[in-house]
Structure 1
Amino acid sequence: MTNQFKSSPFFTRMMCWCSALACIMLFSTCEDDEDDNLEGTFYGPVVAVGQGNARTWVTTDNAGAPMAVGVTFSEQAINSNGLGNGMKMYTLALPAQAEQTLYDHVMLDWNPQGHDPIPLYGVPHFDLHFYMVSEAQVAAIQPQATMDEMPAEQFRPQNYILTPGVVPGMGAHWVDVTDMNNTPDNFDKTFIYGSHDGNFIFHEPMFTLDFLNTLPTVGTQTMSIPQPTAYQQPGLYPQRYSYSYNATTKEYTISLLDLTEKD
């Protein structure tokens, strides 16, 4: 190619077109890479729990829509010696991908002596609250000895009843009267709904330390979540939940599964 051609206006325009085309192709490749990254499991920050740690996660499909959300904690985290003999509460932030879910944050509570009513729940166990309101709103909830205001009947899950009182910094609790886990001396695991001032504000898997210790032997346990006939707010509602143990990573996972859009 002659120097005369290289210095011609045509050559200059051709090089500009090629550069522009290269930029477009590079941008398109970057967009494809971003699309590829929409699918996967994304983790929240690690939080020290007992002698181990815990973190939240969200699993999304190839369009970036959340399919499941949960908490995974290390085997060392459930060592009762490391957790101690006093109640402990851990706030777990969710990853950015959880913004499309109902949930704002997660609270993990350790109850070494259980809690009221003692005949039902007076054994060492964990409460895992998936809150649909902010930390500030939860912290502002005041104690109340009487029954809280009820959500409208169509929003209440089947067979669930409101228990007396409002726990400060937590809310009122709804339990499934058909679940044997909510009868004396039978508590291993159960699923609780929480409300405040007539609105459901959390979903709560509640489970004993003894039950978790059975998972390495019995394997994953998956249950359906009772649903209402209508929903107070549109969003992705879990249809099932599960408990599992990974022998390779030595981790326990509690999952809310089959997130399904409800109007």
Structure 2
Amino acid sequence: MKKVFLSCLAVAALATACKKDKEDDGIKKGSVAQLYNGKAWTWAQVKADGTPEKLSITINDEALKSVPINSNHTGHENHLVLSLHEKHGTPFNHVLLDWNPSGHEGPMYMFPHFDFHYYFVTPAEVDATTDETKMNKFPDAAYMPAGHIAPVPGVPKMGMHWLDPTSPELGGGKPFTQTFIYGSYDGKVTFMEPMITKAFIDTTTNFSRAIPQPAKYQRSGYYPTKMSIKRHDGVTDIILEEFVQRSAS
């Protein structure tokens, strides 16, 4: 009887240790949503002190293989609001994932692609992004990376989109594959956005690029300086990483 009791204690201790290891690995998973025949979800990797290391949207292969390609459909077809784990450690509030079956406005962006909006504001505030006057109230230039431009009207329920004119599809005469965009509304920076074609995701296993940085920040917190695409084990991660602490000014 004593041996059975000790064995049970050992099993319980092992289970507790495994649970603790899982809790201590620093991965904080957010919401999971259906994306066509697959799934998409968010997760964050944080240090023991809560400092963020990575913030990611993950899409599994079942979703990527089932997204529709439709040359007659311009603009987003699937609009997913994904929440973040409460302990993600960044100034972001949630993520908006859009699938564009044949691209959207701007002739250079007429390719099937994903928009990954990492929003600083709440979903309710995004839905209220509809006033044209506020849409055209720009942040002070120091809060945007140097040289960024807003060449087209803002998008209701998204915001004004600020583009890097040195991006290959704008300044280099090359087809759009991936780019990085900032967003604003009513004088505030409201989102950061990797925008990536499906073709690029399908042919990429490991890609990283620097994120253009502004001179000043409206909110204190940890901000990403690099965006990566990692394809592995039946999933693709769209990661913001190499976070640096910034102070509002």
Give the TM-score normalised by the residue count of structure 2. Answer: 0.83
State whether residues 137 and 187 of structure 2, in contact with CA within 8 Å, keep that contact through their aligned partners in structure 1: yes
Residues 11-42 of structure 1: CA deviation (Å, up to 9, x unaligned): xxxxxxxxxxxxxxxxxxx9xx9899455111
Counterpart of 2:185 (choices 196, 208, 211) is 196
| Structure with bigger gyration radius | 1
- Please show how residues 58-137 of structure 1 align to structure 2 within 5 Å: 58-79=44-65, 81-83=66-68, 85=70, 87-98=77-88, 100-117=89-106, 119-137=107-125
Larger relative helix fraction: 1
Indicate yes or no: 2:39 matched with 1:53: yes
**Residue in 2 aligned with 1:151?**
139
1:252 paired with 2:236, answer yes
Runs of at least 4 residues off by over 2 Å: 33-39, 81-86, 143-147, 181-185
Percent identity, aligned pairs only, is 34
Which deviates more from structure 2 when the two are superposed, residues 181-190 or residues 170-179? Answer: 181-190
Unaligned runs of 5+ in 1: 1-29
Aligned residue type for 1:199: K
Larger CA deviation: 137-146 vs 61-70: 137-146
TM-score by length of 1: 0.79
CA-CA distance at 1:88 after TM superposition: 1.2
* Counterpart-to-counterpart distance in 1, 2:80 and 2:149: 27
Deviations 1:152-188 (A, max 9, x none): 1211112311233111110000000011133566100
**Equivalent-residue separation in structure 2 for 1:232 and 1:162 (angstroms):** 19
Counterparts in 2 of 1:187 and 1:146: CA distance versus 1, 3 Å: farther
Report the aligned-residue RMSD.
Answer: 2.3
The aligned amino acid for 2:83 is: A
Letter in 1 for 2:139: P
**Equivalent residue, structure 2, for 1:10:** none
**Residue correspondence of structure 1 range 236-247 to structure 2 within 5 A:** 236-246=222-232
SS class of match (2:163): strand
Superposition deviation, residue 147 in structure 1: 6.9
